Amino acid sequence: MEPLWEWPYRLYPAVAMILGGFAIAARGDFLLVRAARKPIGTPGKNYTWIRGFRMALFGGSLAAVGAGWLWDIPALAVAGLAIGFEETLETSICAYALKQSGD
């Protein structure tokens, strides 16, 4: 594990992870806003919202992992991985339930 943290060229993949995470989070925020603007009772509103929420959380956790790797903060990288895994799992279950219910 040490060679990964001390790799001299970690700048490039870490910055790519951060920028990719921000891009995914921005797409998720766009879906959140789009779902929030739909009228109440619109079919698929909740499903669109949970998809956007899942993307925003995943993008934020990916950026946190990249930042933890870049700045040599293992706790930030581990927190990003843990939060990203747990929240992606929860929102995926919620999205599946919403899709099955027809909402």
3-state secondary structure 43-100: CCHHHHHHHHHHHHHHHHHHHHHHHHHHCCCHHHHHHHHHHHHHHHHHHHHHHHHHHH
pLDDT at 4 over 80: no
pLDDT for residue 87: 92
State in Å, rounded, how far the first CA of the chain is from the last one: 44
The letter for the amino acid at 43 is: P
Sign of the four-CA dihedral 9, 15, 16, 18:
positive
pLDDT of residue 9: 85
In angstroms, what CA-CA distances link 35 with 30, 39, 94?
9, 9, 16
pLDDT, mean of residues 60-78:
95
Q: What is the pTM of this model?
A: 0.88
- pLDDT tens readout for residues 31-56: 999 999 999 988 989 999 999 999 99
Q: CA 85 to CA 15: how far, in whole Å?
A: 21
